Chains A and B, each alone.
Chain A
């Protein structure tokens, strides 16, 4: 429901990038793997993907039915984000060698990278059916369940992997993540401690530890673990996201907000909506109660105020604190591009709002304050853009926000240039009617974009 949640749902991806079964387990090791494929594997392991692809294609030109080469090529293409080609290669591999568990694993991995979790789950099931004791397969299955919010199943898969290899890093980390989601924090801590004891240089385990600490509202030790994770692997974005959150959590207001975000991220999608709607119903009930029984109004009003402030903060808190983080050197660099863009847009809107307020109250420009109000309201569409995943939801939200911006600009211009006319007059000139309609449409549009952003926040477009 928010970017923290997005980061949390991204986390299994980081684990699974590391999970690639050893060649030896595919039954294709040794002499059956040609020199060209060996070279490709070496190049791929060194991240020289273009070179690896060239070698694999070379191998396939002489042996087009080599399922292993097709599978490796699929992985190579997926790493280059050439997903349709990767899918094609993965499907060829399973077609050529239906009994090769590795081919099914690769297909599952490609589907996972494409956010096609049902297909991925089906493929990894095929791989496990053929090779039930490969912990990497169970690790991927666990990661898919985590993406789907199926915490118990994720835990079961990770534990099955650990039955085959009790020291398996990926399964250990996924087990810990599942336990955190299930609220079994002590077990999660013990699992991560075990992982770090075995391998103190496991960057992912440090990041995992950091997030577990954040779930316990212990931002300082969390920050230390995130920093250590980044020292070991500076490219680990999950740890970088942790640094951002841990630094913002130094502020008690944000800490409370983060606690709410993390708690919400542990709930299923349906439960999250239950909480949002439940709170809204309670707010409406309290408002009604205050209206019907004025004597209870002094008691309901503070609760309503806190609720409204809370809702406001769930929307604006994160970008606001991101903006504050820009004053800190480490925080400034840790912010992601999206967070920076969002912060830039909000700062710009704030600056325009301040100019409008100064114009109204210092220079006496009549109705300039409405411009400030419009700027404040435009902050919600801006946040809405970044609340959804990149792809069509983001494009859709951006389009909507641009329409709202045009409406706000037109409304404010009309307000500034038109003379004073009582709006309750029946025979308003058409331009006034148009202006009023525009304002109403703008307000409805802002409310609408907030609801739709919440609806789309859990959508991850397939690739």
Chain B
């Protein structure tokens, strides 16, 4: 039967080769009979005839996917996903492709978009992989908190449909090694205004404003932000670079507003902007009006012009604070700029302990390794441990006997690595020395003992 249909469609295409609709039908049939390469050809010819045909593009994306051409498929579905009339099947495919790339948050978002458009497009297996198997609660239901306790990667309500996932971090400040000064600052600025609201009111101190964390990459800025949310048992909405990129290219202002709305509906909530310099870049650097609009929207959202930000705690992190527009540092916005340095020796020892947990080790002197890894970030320390393990594995392969990791192995691995924070400090030093208006970078000068 299928073969007959295929033959009929092929004849139909042969009789009118310039008909894109026939090409589409034939392509779909080929795809259905597991002939994706042939289907791709038909879709391509069809698109040459009708370049704007969304169905042909959608078919092409599926044909790519079936042939394991994930990159090609991704490019096509990204294009299609921008449209408001996108097919649910395309979004499911988009989610699958994003999941393959390890971008679970975005994958979950696209999957939910698909289900919102057409519930029949659901794919339980994919949903399970994305951690979305639990049915979404009905808005306004009293089990709101229980819902969060399930640690699902998304919240509720229409505003967050396209927004980042809402989390409930379980980590606390106690889980963050060192950084006591920073934790105190965050307590004073964010936690105490919530827990001691009356006291703050009595002193006429208005809560609000955000904190901008900056420092070299891999030093725990994001972890600290999560711990802040965990400390006050608040929701946590991380906005990463992918979301920001989407905002610049898509309908950014609306998306940004949606994110803030999602946070406002999930009070108390920590809204965390990672790599905020991508969103809050200096407006003088922005060539396009679109860019300025998005930045202005961000400023007005921070000011609470379009909604009440009480109970919404805003944190942001960046490796390049010098690219953040000064307007963001005014009172009520990111009025505290805090330096997150690389971990100190006790913190490094603590990180090493965590990294080596459940590994075959032989009486490791964590302090000795910490002493020899001055300037290493948490990510660098992970590199040290990975390096030591790899070397040990090679040794075990040769000897045929597994041996535990020793302090010497770690020291050897550390000696072969340079701290990645060095480049960052090279740049930061210049800003601290020459562009330190208002003492913004005094902490860097202090850290570098300049």
Contact = CB atoms under 8 A, between A and B. Distances in A.
Interface of A: 22, 34-36, 38-39, 42-43, 46-48, 51, 58-59, 61-63, 201, 227, 230-232, 234-235, 240, 330, 333
Interface centre among B248, B249, B323, B430 (most CB of A within 10 A): B430
B134 interface: no
A36 B287 CA distance: 19
A344 B433 CA distance: 23
A36 B78 contact: yes
A34 B75 contact: yes
Contacts of B281: 46
A234 B277 contact: no
A39 B75 contact: no
The majority secondary structure among interface residues of chain A is helix
A234 B433 contact: yes
Contacts of A201: 284
Given A39-B249, A42-B245, A58 B431 contact: no
Nearest to B322: A234
B435 A231 contact: yes
Contacts of A240: 430
Interface string B425-438: 00101110111010
- Nearest 3 CB-CB pairs, A to B? A234-B430, A230-B434, A234-B434
Nearest to A43: B245
Contacts of B141: none
B71 A61 contact: yes
A48 B287 CA distance: 18
Given A34-B79, A36-B75, 15 more contacts: A34-B75, A35-B82, A39-B245, A42-B248, A42-B249, A46-B323, A62-B76, A227-B434, A234-B322, A234-B430, A234-B434, A234-B435, A235-B430, A240-B430, A333-B450
Contacts of B431: 234
B72 interface: yes
B389 interface: no
A231 B277 CA distance: 19
Given A42-B248, A235-B427, A51 B241 contact: yes
B194 interface: no
Contacts of A234: 322, 430-431, 433-435
B79 A35 contact: yes
19 contacts: A22-B287, A34-B79, A42-B248, A46-B277, A46-B323, A47-B320, A48-B241, A58-B71, A59-B75, A61-B72, A62-B72, A62-B75, A201-B284, A231-B434, A234-B430, A234-B433, A234-B435, A235-B427, A235-B430
A227 B435 CA distance: 9
B315 interface: no
Nearest to A63: B75
Nearest to A39: B245
B56 interface: no
B284 A232 contact: no
A201 to B, nearest CB: 7
A333 to B, nearest CB: 5
A190 B236 CA distance: 56
Contacts of B429: 333
A42 B287 CA distance: 11
A201 B430 CA distance: 18
Interface residues of B, number: 30
Contacts of B71: 58, 61-62
A58 B74 contact: yes
B12 interface: no
A47 B241 CA distance: 13
A16 to B, nearest CB: 18
A268 to B, nearest CB: 34
B278 A58 contact: no
A32 to B, nearest CB: 11
A460 to B, nearest CB: 24
Contacts of B78: 35-36
A199 to B, nearest CB: 10
Contacts of A227: 434
B435 A61 contact: no
A234 B69 CA distance: 44
B41 to A, nearest CB: 15
A43 B75 CA distance: 17
Nearest to A334: B433
A43 B248 CA distance: 10
Contacts of B74: 58
Contacts of A51: 241
A230 B435 contact: yes
Interface string B264-280: 00000000000001100
A48 B242 CA distance: 12
A89 to B, nearest CB: 17
A240 B429 CA distance: 13
Contacts of B75: 34-36, 58-59, 61-63
Interface in B400-450: 427, 429-431, 433-435, 437, 450
A39 to B, nearest CB: 5
A365 B410 CA distance: 50
A451 to B, nearest CB: 36
Interface in B260-303: 277-278, 281, 284, 287
A20 to B, nearest CB: 11
A240 B435 CA distance: 13
Contacts of A62: 71-72, 75-76
Contacts of B430: 230, 234-235, 240
A298 to B, nearest CB: 52
Given A58-B75, A61-B72, A201-B284, A35 B249 contact: yes
Given A231-B434, A234-B435, A46 B278 contact: yes
